[in-house]
Amino acid sequence: MSVSASVSAAASVQTICPPLPVLGRDVTVPLVTGGEVTYAALDYAASAPALQRVWDDVAAYAPYYGSVHRGAGYLSQLSTDLFENARRTVAEFLDCRPDDQLVFTRSTTDSLNLLAAALPADCQVFVFETEHHASLLPWTNAQVTYLNAPRTPRQAVETLERALADRDPYGPALVCVTGASNVTGELWPVRELAAAAHAHGARIVLDAAQLAPHHPVSVQDLDVDWIAFSGHKLYAPFGSGVLAGRADWLREAEPYLAGGGASRKVSRREDGGVDVEWHESAARHEAGSPNVIGAYSIASACKALTEAGFDTLVARERYLIEKVREGLAEVPEVRVLSLFGDDAPRVGVISFVVDGWNSSHFAAALSAEYGIGVRDGLFCAHPLVRTLLGSDAQAQGECGAPEAAPGEKSLNAIRVSFGAGTPDEHVERFVNAVRELVTDGARWNYRTEDGRCVPDTSA
C-alpha cells in the first residue's frame, strides 16, 4: 500500500478513535509574539502526559493510601493487596511466563542497573552502540562488547550472531537491546535477536521504554528473558518502573538495596555480627517502603491501554506518523534521521535536523512562537546521534545539553514524539510551524542563557 493510501486507510480508523484523554490537554502557554495557545506536548519520548484515567484511579485510591507489607490496619492491608495486584496486572500486560519475577523499580534506568548488579560472575554483555545510555552504560561489572550500528534489521541480527559466535560458549552472557529507538522510533528485530542470543546460549533483556507505550509487548512471544520500562513514558508519571523476567539470576544476586522489606530474617550472631536471610521473591530487590502509587498507576495505565485496544492505538499513531513524515518530506531543508530507512516500522518518535539551523534555536522557536514542546540535543544516545548526523559533535556534558549558539550549523538534532493522547491539531501545528520557520525564519531574536537557547526579551 502506498503511503497516502495507508494514511487514508488509517484516517478512517482515526475518525472513530479519538486521542485518549490526558492531563494538560487544555493547558495554555504564552507565545513570545503575543497571545496564548494550548500547549502541544510533542515530547512523549521523554515523558508522556498522564492519562486522565490513571490520574482518576490514583485520586480515587489516595484517601485509602497506606503502608505496604507492614501494617496490620485495614488501609495497610488494602494497599498491600493493591500493590500485589498491580504486579499481577503488569505481568499480564507484558504476557510474562508464570514463573517470571516482576520487580517494581524507579525507572528503566533503575531496572537495567538492577539487572547489571545481578549478573552472574564473568558474564559477557553484548550491546549495540545505538542504545540509549540507560542500556549502554550500566554493565560496568561485566566484560562488554559494543556492537557497531547496523544499517538494516538483518545486519543487526548478523552482527550479533558474529559477536556471539566468538564468545566463550560456556560462560554466562547477556544481550541488551532496545525495542524501539528513542532517536529514530524504528523498531528493532527483537524476536530474531532473542533467537540469535538463545542459539548461542546467551540471554537477552529488552529495553521497552519506547516500545511498551506504543505497541503490545509479549515477553513470551518475543522470547526475551527480561524486559524493562518506565511508568512516566507509559502515561503513569508517579516514579515507578518495571523489571520483569527470569527469576534465577535475580534470586541468586545480592539484594539491589539492603534493608527492610528485602530481608526475611535478621539475627545477631554470637560473634556480635548479623546474619540475614533475604527474600527470594521480587521483594529481595524492593527494599524500603514500596512506591505503591507508582505501581498502581502503571497497572492503571496498562489496563487503560489494553481496554482502548492496541490495534486502534497503533493505527491512529501510524496515521500521525505519516502526517508528520509527509509534512517533513515536503521541506527540502529537513533531514529525518534513520538507521533502517523509510520503510522501517516505527513508533511516534522522529528526529531530524534542518539545514542552516541550530537545532536548539529551532526547538526554542517552536516553543516560544508556536507553543510546541519538542526536545533538542543528543537524546542520551550520543554515539547513535553522532553516527546519524555524521558529525564529530563532542560530548555535550549533561544529558540533552544543546549546542546553543543560534545560527550555527547543527551538531545536535530535534526530536518530535507523540502517542495515544496526541490530537491531530498538535502534529498539524508542528508541520506548519516547521514549514513557516524554514520559509520565513524565526520572528523573534534568541540568545544563549545557561547553555540553552531562549527568546531574547531584553529589547
Ligand X SMILES: Cc1ncc(COP(=O)(O)O)c(C=O)c1O
Residues engaged in binding ligand X (CB under 6 A): 45, 107-109, 132, 134-135, 178, 182, 207, 209-210, 230, 232
Strands 40-41 vs 372-373: parallel, antiparallel or unpaired = parallel
Q: Are 358 and 392 in contact (CB under 8 A)?
A: no
Which residues does residue 335 pair with via DSSP β-bridges, in sequence order? 353
Minimal distance, residue 109 CB to ligand X, in Å: 3
Enumerate the H helices of 333-381 as residue ranges.
359-370
DSSP state of 201: T
Active site residue 380: yes
| CB 80, min distance to ligand X, A | 26
User: Grid coordinates in use for 451?
Assistant: 547553555
Please, are residues 365 and 32 in contact by the beta-carbon 8 Å criterion? no
| Choice among 17, 96, 302, 380 that is catalytic | 380
Torsion of Cα atoms, 420 then 421 then 425 then 430, to 10°: -80
96: three-class secondary structure by DSSP: coil
Report the C-alpha gap between 129 and 122 in whole angstroms: 21
| Choice between 215 and 429, CB closer to ligand X | 215
Q: Collapse the DSSP code of 359 into the 3-class scheme (helix H, G, I; strand E, B; otherwise coil) and give the result.
A: helix
Number of H helices, E strands in the chain: 14, 19
Could you give the CA distance from residue 410 to residue 402 in angstroms, rounded to a whole number?
10
Catalytic (active-site) positions: 380
